[in-house]
Amino acid sequence: MPSQLFTPITLGPIAFANRVFIAPMCQYAVEKRDGVPTDWHLVHLGSLASGGASLVITEATAVSPEGRISPEDTGIWNDEQKDAWARIVGFVHERGAKAGIQLQHAGRKASTFRPWGAAGRHGTVPAADGGWAPLGPSAVAYPGYDTPQALDASGIDKVVADFAAAARRALDAGFDVLELHAAHGYLLHQFLSPLSNTRDDEYGGSLENRARLLMRVVDAVTDAAAGRAAVFVRFSATDWVEGGWNEADTATVARWARDAGADFFDVSTGGNAHADIPVGPGYQVRFAHYVRSLAEVPVGAVGIITDAAQAEQIVASGQADAVLIAREALRDPHTPQRWARELGADAPELWQPQYIRARR
């Protein structure tokens, strides 16, 4: 049977040559702390685009200065950042891949030390070291981090406006995919989860209320995209904690987001609470399959997907419509090309002319 992994797929207005996508991976590499992507990002993302994936998604890119996970994160809240991203997008396109950007606000997990080069320091970066006060749905801290300031109505309106403005800049930079980061314990996920959202207004309590901010952002970003780009939503399907966000809630909100114009759902898990997570090969695939089946939406599976047969089986069996790889792509940026050879897929479009001799 021909490989299903290396068949095309169309999501929204964008056609992808195959079903291997590169997942967002934080790099913490903006040494000037100005949010402007650098030559590191050009080479990192460019190498991944050269490896045969049909879509390369940037790291979590902040829609505002206060939305950064760390001071070293990229942003897209001004035109200098947009112009730097445009150079990178152009190179990704030259390599034959589509370019996606993950738009995000870190919320209560903002202003934290990057996981390396901080002399062993962890948690919230103090103002004296270039940090800032985090924001969140409620004054409930993530364990080990500073207590956030609860957003008021005007602050919530600003978040929506920031996502919309970032989407417009991303489109101007040439991105084909706008992914909204509603996973891993960042702001949109924080509003969704009752573990972090204890509000008693129109943004708290019921599932509809907790999803209100996400839905406003989906509406704003799909309006901006207007047929020019595909809109993805990344969910954490479960908090892995009793009484937290779960896969049934995820499927319900995914259906709402689909009806509002979102095109694809990137299904991960965790990140909003300390939890005992049973990590292993493909450990999150069942959540992607659940959301796909219950919500009747196209989904991507992610999480310890490391070999060709495994990835092929996920797509061919209908558990997901695409796979997203991260660590395996860090180990080998040419993973899609290697998988195509192992599966016997006739996919010459994966190969750069400079690499064509490696097909045999």
- For the annotated catalytic residues, the residue numbers are 186
- On the question of pLDDT at 44 being above 80, the answer is yes
Give this prediction's pTM.
Answer: 0.97
Q: 153-189 pLDDT, tens per residue?
A: 999 999 999 999 999 999 999 999 999 999 999 999 9
Residue 258's nearest CA partner among 292, 224, 308 is 292
| Ranges 1-5, 76-80, 167-171, 278-282: which has the least confidence | 1-5
Kindly tell me the number of DSSP H helices and DSSP E strands found in the chain.
11, 12
- 198-227 average pLDDT score: 98
Q: 83-130 pLDDT, tens per residue?
A: 999 999 999 999 999 999 999 999 999 999 999 988 889 999 999 999
List alpha helices for the chain, DSSP H: 39-49, 79-94, 153-173, 187-192, 207-210, 212-225, 247-259, 285-295, 308-316, 327-331, 335-343
Burial class (CB in 10 A: 0-12, 13-18, 19+), 89: buried
- 201-227 average pLDDT score: 98
Residue 23: its pLDDT value, please? 98
- 63-81 average pLDDT score: 98
Q: Do 325 and 20 meet the contact criterion of CB atoms below 8 Å apart? A: yes
Q: Which residue has the tokens 């509002």?
A: 260
- On the question of pLDDT at 1 being above 80, the answer is no
- On the question of pLDDT at 297 being above 90, the answer is yes
Q: 126-161 pLDDT, tens per residue?
A: 999 999 999 999 999 999 999 999 999 999 999 999
Mean pLDDT of the chain: 97
The Cα 5–Cα 310 span in angstroms is 10
The Cα 70–Cα 125 span in angstroms is 8
- On the question of pLDDT at 359 being above 90, the answer is no
- 323-344 average pLDDT score: 97
Residue 327 CA neighbour count, 13 Å, CB half:
8
Q: 6-38 pLDDT, tens per residue?
A: 999 999 999 999 999 999 999 999 999 999 999
